[in-house]
Amino acid sequence: MDKALLQTIDHIDWYGKVALIRADFNVPLADGQVQDTTRIERALPTIEAILQKGGTVSILTHLGRPKGIEPAYSVQPVADCLSALLHKPVEVLSDFDPEHTKTPNTIYLYENTRFFPGETRNDPELAERMAACCDVWVMDAFATAHRAHASTMGALSYAKEACAGILFAEELTAISRLFDAPGKPILAVVGGAKVSGKIDLLTSLLEWCDVIAVVGAMANTFLYAKGQEVGRSLYEPEQVELARSIMQQAMEKGVVIYLPQDYIVATESGDKSLQKGVAEIHPTDSIYDVGPQTLMALNTLATHSQTLIWNGPLGWFENPLYSHGSYAFAKSVAASSSYSIVGGGDTIRVLTESTGLSGVSYVSTGGGAFLALLAHRTLPIVEALSIGVAQHV
């Protein structure tokens, strides 16, 4: 991934041109109000830079997962929030009309892209209609960068000119640092529920990490692969052989696979939560969080790492009985002097609620895109935004 080849907004003469920014304003709503403005705020530098350079701004975003047009998923609350942040009027457009007059005095926000049939299947007709509404298409939604939708790869392929926004370029720079002579040792902490969703990531991490700590329900599959009892805990029987293969590859490459040493479990009756060592797990137990010995070990690993990657909670963090491990580890990450990068919605939520984001070197806006970029070191949309490719005319 060569950042120097990325076509950015700095390569464009914006005067008199209309930008169509693919942003990520998929924000939580309640009672018609935006509950968390973080994603909108992180897009402001791109919007403001284009306006300052004489351009006009229009924006695309999805919001939730509506099935067709559902008023509850309208982007109007996002428009109201964006207007308040920019101190400019924001007009919501219900269709892609290239004849609609646009001026720099107003921001134009198209209605939820998922209201339009063909968005998620990358319908070429829809993509062409989107691209026809701008002079320059701007990719600034890193969180959607792994998806080939009409508003992402589709619109890019029809745009007269295309480039990356400030946030998108910032994401690539931060993640590229993990590959470009990172400080060692490198610790990757990978959690979540399923091994099957992170096969490519784990395979990639084996090539350049020193320690991979597998936590969350994912760890249960690895423990089972080692012959350990996991009781009634969630695990993936069909991925047991893969887990064995990953551990074997790690041993051959000199990479340490760290698995939890102890757990907080729920007993069969469900009325008790107990700390148990791995060898003490009973067939009727359910593993829901890591125990104090594991937290101590993870804290030591974080303290001695020079580069730290974290994706995925350590347990059932939504339940207060089993949230301690995730929140305690978040404090270890924030206190670490390593170059730390965190990605994934649940992971960011844990970090935000425990310590805030200030102690982490970089917080990625992407979940799936973050994992895909770590796994493959590039993405098709990044290649398409390279200089010489992104300039279609």
Q: Which residues are catalytic?
A: 39, 194, 345, 368
Report DSSP state, residue 161: B
- Enumerate the β-bridge partners of residue 274: 265
Do residues 325 and 315 lie in contact, with contact meaning Cβ atoms separated by under 8 Å?
yes
Which has the closest alpha carbon to 29: 19, 39, 14, 17? 39
Instruction: Give CA angle at 154 (39, 158), nearest 5°.
Output: 115
332 sits in the region (left: phi over 0; alpha: psi -120 to 50; else beta) called: alpha
Residue-by-residue DSSP string for 217-257: THHHHHHHHTT---TT----GGGHHHHHHHHHHHHHHT-EE
CB-CB neighbours of 363 under 10 Å = 18
Do residues 40 and 34 lie in contact, with contact meaning Cβ atoms separated by under 8 Å?
yes
Q: What amino acid is encoded at 157 in this protein?
A: S
Task: Report d(CA 352, CA 324) in Å as an integer.
Answer: 14
- Unique residue bearing structure tokens 């757990």: 263
Task: Report d(CA 341, CA 310) in Å as an integer.
Answer: 7
Task: Report d(CA 276, CA 284) in Å as an integer.
Answer: 13
Residue 244, both tokens: 């064995």
Q: Which residues contact 12 (CB under 8 A, 6 or more apart)?
A: 53, 136, 161, 163
